[in-house]
Structure 1
């Protein structure tokens, strides 16, 4: 393995199209609650709109040689961005300040898991999010059926806040210390 980590600019986000679409397929394969909701989710409907609504974006891809084998996308957004036609992701009044940090998308190809890539990407994202003094609340949204991701984030200090969409998504939360 020859792993490299590259920060992707918003202008070059299209390099994440295939890996993002693979994430959506993975989430659907794990889902036990309304997996058909993933049918309309892809790069154009999930990553691009999130990127456009955010104030700050941070995307890192992991490559093995020239092959993208994982990525993480985090953002800082107005808290109102998380109340839309799809769902209200958290009680807006519970957030101190106007902005929230979100580790929004995170995926590593199965054969590359267990090499510490996830921990490295997680820490890179949290270090990036921590630089924003005005952000006091961090969120991660885990699709149903993805128990490994849920356990990973709990080990990293996030706590389960609540479920939305009848259990389709579990909301995890952490406040800045």
Structure 2
């Protein structure tokens, strides 16, 4: 196993299609509350719109022998982008600047988990997010039932802020 990491240019986001779709299936399999909400979630309904509405995007991938086995998608977006028909993700007045940073999607294929890939992807994402002067609030949204992810982000210094959609999603933030 030879793991390499690289940043994908936005125009190559299609390379994450299969993993993004696997993420939605994985989240549904973990969910104990409203798993049916994942039925309409996929690459075209989650990643594509998110990238289009963001100001800046970064996709970091991990590869094993040239094949993508994990990815982390982060963005810088206007705080208003997180209040839409689906949900209001956080109290807009709790965010001091006009933009927020978000680790939006994070997935590692089975067989590659718990060997350090997640920590490297997380650190590369945070390193990219933090230099933006117009951002001081960073969010991560964890679907219900994904307790391993929740604990991982808490170990990395994020704290649980609140739940939305009656507990369907746990919102974590940096402060």
Give the structure-2-normalised TM-score: 0.99
Partner of 1:134: 134
1:70-149 alignment runs, 5 A limit: 70-149=70-149
Partner of 2:17: 17
By how many angstroms is 1:114 displaced?
Answer: 1.3
CA distance in 2, matches of 1:67, 1:21: 16
* CA offset digits 1:35-93 (Å, max 9, x no partner): 00000000000000000000000101111012211000000000000000000000001
Q: CA RMSD in A?
A: 0.6
Partner of 1:30: 30
* CA offset digits 1:11-51 (Å, max 9, x no partner): 11000000000000000000000000000000000000000
By how many angstroms is 1:106 displaced?
Answer: 0.2
Number of residues of Structure 1 aligned to a counterpart in Structure 2: 175
By how many angstroms is 1:133 displaced?
Answer: 1.6
By how many angstroms is 1:115 displaced?
Answer: 1.2
CA distance in 2, matches of 1:164, 1:103: 17
Unaligned runs of 5+ in 2: none
* CA offset digits 1:102-127 (Å, max 9, x no partner): 00000001210111100000000000
Unaligned runs of 5+ in 1: none
Instruction: Give the match's secondary structure for 1:45.
Output: helix
CA distance in 2, matches of 1:76, 1:86: 19
Partner of 2:42: 42
Give the structure-1-normalised TM-score: 0.98
